Structure 1
């Protein structure tokens, strides 16, 4: 099967983040096992979704994990000019479909190269590690990694997460934390602003607190010029409250997006936010006893990671792709989870992230072909490594 044919099959599974991925993961499982490779499924508690891992090659330390996710982002409301779940070749050098770039192109390269991996005399193994629900917070990564560590007596050295990077090594990402906040105040006539507690006003204070916290981090000198921006960021992306100009709002909701440099403590920032909200509750309950601020995680923290530009992982990617220029990113991936588990982690996959999450998403044929070439180069390297 060619890599394009494999990609055509994979994009035909319309698995959105949060939905069951059992159809695609069982198809992948059957395909892998047709080559005599045993696979392990790691289901969620309801058995409606599953991750998959397997080992190709000998049970020795030092192997390479190839990791990707099976879910994609929604297409509803986007102006697609083609069927999102049918691979379309427009003869312009690109292949169009949802997930073609993010990140079924990488999965297609892994699976297309599987016959060569099986036939090769690998000195160190290759592992596949495919997850679900990456697009809604990397929710399956920890359980998959724990299962991998429990399933094999040996310990892999590297984890290559195949997010679209134009096959350039990405050596760092910020942590990402989405926090939803509901402020419950007291409704009343706007002339009574000092006798009531406005949920809108209190929400505004939280927005200003977040901005000041970001500025305090900048002023403290916490920076990393590898990233853009080179500091941790706190951003209010959504806020909604009130029903009329002359009515004091009794409810306002807002969402914060916090992206931390690897050296900053995302958990501490979250605790600082909670402490601030508790202090506002205590102060304003003297005016309205029912005043409350509810702070909830939209999803758990997606951890940051930082790999040295002189690491063996960077050298490996350079060897199998020819790319020596590294990058860092501020978007979420599962690389932080693998790094926290002790693997030398790096992001490298075919396609451009600029094409992800948009209408008429595509991957170029050139990138897809270079992706499969990377796989063949990895196989050749591990035959001697």
Structure 2
């Protein structure tokens, strides 16, 4: 099957983050095993989802992991011109579907190249590492990596995470920490604003704390010009509460998105927020004894990526794509998990991130073909280099 034919199959599985991915992962499993390759599934506790890994080539140290995910973001409310879960060729050189760019295009490139992998005289192995629930916090990456480490006696050296980058190597990403905050105040008539504790006013203080915290990081010199913006960011993305202008709100919910430079500590920012909330609780309980601020992790921290520009991974991507011009991004991927596990990790895949998560998402045929060429070049590289 060609990469386009495989991509047509993959996008037809409408697996959103949080959904069961068993249908798509079993299709991938059956396809891989049709070439005589042994695969391993790593299920979640409920056996409703599974990641997959496999090895192609000899059990020797120094191999390359190719990593991707099976889930996509929702399409509800987006003005799609076509069925988002059907690959559509409009004749303009692009292939339209949800997930075509992010990141089933990369998976299609990998799967389409399996015949060449199994025929090659590989001196180092190629591994596939395919996860679920990446789009809602990279929830499956750690368990998959742990199982890879247990399953193989040898140690891979590299991990290529195929997020859309126009095949440009990406060596750095910020960490992401999302916190859900609930402020519980006291309800009352608006004329009693000084006798009650408004959840809206207290939520506003949290918003200002986040803004001031971000500015203090900038002023203190916490910058890395490789990133845009070149500092850690704190952003309140949602805030909901209150019922009327003349009613003091007793409950407000808000979400805080923290994106940290590799050198900054997201855990410390979490602790700083908790300290601020505790301070507000102590002060306002003199007015309302049950005043409380709850802070809950939306999902575990997605770790940053900080691969050295002198890394062998940069040379590897340069050798197989001809592109040595690395960059960094402010979005997150599973690359940080692989890097923390000891693999030289880098993001590089076909398609443009500008197309991800939007209506009429597409990958160009040219990028899909270049993605296949990159994997083919990796196969040749692992035949002749070592």
Which band: TM-score by shorter chain? Answer: over 0.9
- State the alpha-carbon separation in 2 of the partners of residues 241 and 36 from structure 1: 57
**CA displacement at 1:48 relative to structure 2:** 0.2
Give me the TM-score of the superposition, normalised by structure 2: 0.99
**CA displacement at 1:296 relative to structure 2:** 0.7
- State the alpha-carbon separation in 2 of the partners of residues 38 and 178 from structure 1: 37
Structure 2 partner of 1:17: 17
Structure 2 partner of 1:281: 281
Gaps of 5+ in 1: none
Written as runs of structure 1 = structure 2, the 5 A alignment for 1:158-307 is 158-307=158-307
- State the alpha-carbon separation in 2 of the partners of residues 373 and 337 from structure 1: 26
- State the alpha-carbon separation in 1 of the partners of residues 95 and 2 from structure 2: 14
Secondary structure of 1:134's aligned partner: coil
Moved segments of 4+, more than 2 Å: none
Aligned residues: 385
**CA displacement at 1:191 relative to structure 2:** 1.5
Between 259-268 and 210-219, report the one with greater CA deviation. 210-219
1:47 aligns with 2:47: yes
- State the alpha-carbon separation in 1 of the partners of residues 210 and 74 from structure 2: 30
- State the alpha-carbon separation in 1 of the partners of residues 98 and 255 from structure 2: 27
- State the alpha-carbon separation in 2 of the partners of residues 240 and 156 from structure 1: 46
- State the alpha-carbon separation in 2 of the partners of residues 304 and 29 from structure 1: 30
1:150 aligns with 2:150: yes
Structure 2 partner of 1:31: 31
**CA displacement at 1:184 relative to structure 2:** 0.4
1:123 aligns with 2:123: yes
Structure 1 partner of 2:106: 106
Structure 1 partner of 2:352: 352
**CA displacement at 1:325 relative to structure 2:** 1.4
**CA displacement at 1:299 relative to structure 2:** 1.2
Structure 1 partner of 2:97: 97
- State the alpha-carbon separation in 1 of the partners of residues 99 and 193 from structure 2: 50
- State the alpha-carbon separation in 2 of the partners of residues 373 and 173 from structure 1: 25
**CA displacement at 1:222 relative to structure 2:** 1.2
Structure 2 partner of 1:140: 140
**CA displacement at 1:300 relative to structure 2:** 1.1
**CA displacement at 1:109 relative to structure 2:** 0.4
**CA displacement at 1:3 relative to structure 2:** 1.0
- State the alpha-carbon separation in 1 of the partners of residues 8 and 146 from structure 2: 31
Gaps of 5+ in 2: none
Deviations 1:36-62 (A, max 9, x none): 111100000000000000000111110
**CA displacement at 1:257 relative to structure 2:** 0.8
**CA displacement at 1:155 relative to structure 2:** 0.7
RMSD between aligned residues? 0.7
Deviations 1:83-103 (A, max 9, x none): 111111111000011100000
Secondary structure of 1:383's aligned partner: helix
Structure 2 partner of 1:368: 368
- State the alpha-carbon separation in 2 of the partners of residues 85 and 194 from structure 1: 54
Structure 2 partner of 1:308: 308
